[in-house]
Amino acid sequence: VFTDPILPCGQIVAEYLSVPSVVFLQQIPCGLDFEATQCPNPPSYIPRLFTDLTDHMNFLQRVKNMLYDFVNNFLCDFVFEPYSQLASEFLQRNVTVLSLLSKASIWLLKIDFVLQYPRPLMPNMVLIGGVNCAPKK
């Protein structure tokens, strides 16, 4: 199943049918993509989206980044709660959106290291688009 993790309905269907899923992603604002793929993402070093911080932060900027990350995760739990309930009812077991996303077979990432902070890649992550790919001939 080819799916977008912003609305995890495709991931729920893939889990129900027991078929592999391919996730196409630009970026999830709350960092579920990092948690689902188990990529390192320490908030004391990596600036969060929409904070306008760089990787060279002083102590107060790191505190701001940590607070932003905490609030962002809380908001993410609130936003994805209806999908967790839908998936739990549909699959007849207790599941979370994070557990569904962590079962994705391949992550197609449309990220650009020039515009976004560089991140480590796991073996099931493939970069598509942007300056990371060779130009068409």
Q: What is the pLDDT along the chain (137 residues), one digit of tens a residue?
A: 888 888 888 999 999 999 999 998 877 777 788 888 888 878 777 777 777 787 788 899 888 888 888 888 888 888 889 999 999 999 999 999 989 999 999 988 887 766 666 677 888 888 887 665 666 67
Identify whether 91 is part of a domain.
yes
Nearest to 116 by CA among 43, 53, 39: 53
Dihedral sign for Cα 121, 126, 130, 134, please: positive
Identify whether 133 is part of a domain.
no
Residues in contact with 109: Cβ distance below 8 Å, sequence separation at least 6, in sequence order: 25, 26, 121, 125, 126, 127, 128
Identify whether 134 is part of a domain.
no
The parent domain of residue 91 ranges over 2-127
Identify whether 55 is part of a domain.
yes
Q: How many independent structural domains does the chain possess?
A: 1
Identify whether 68 is part of a domain.
yes
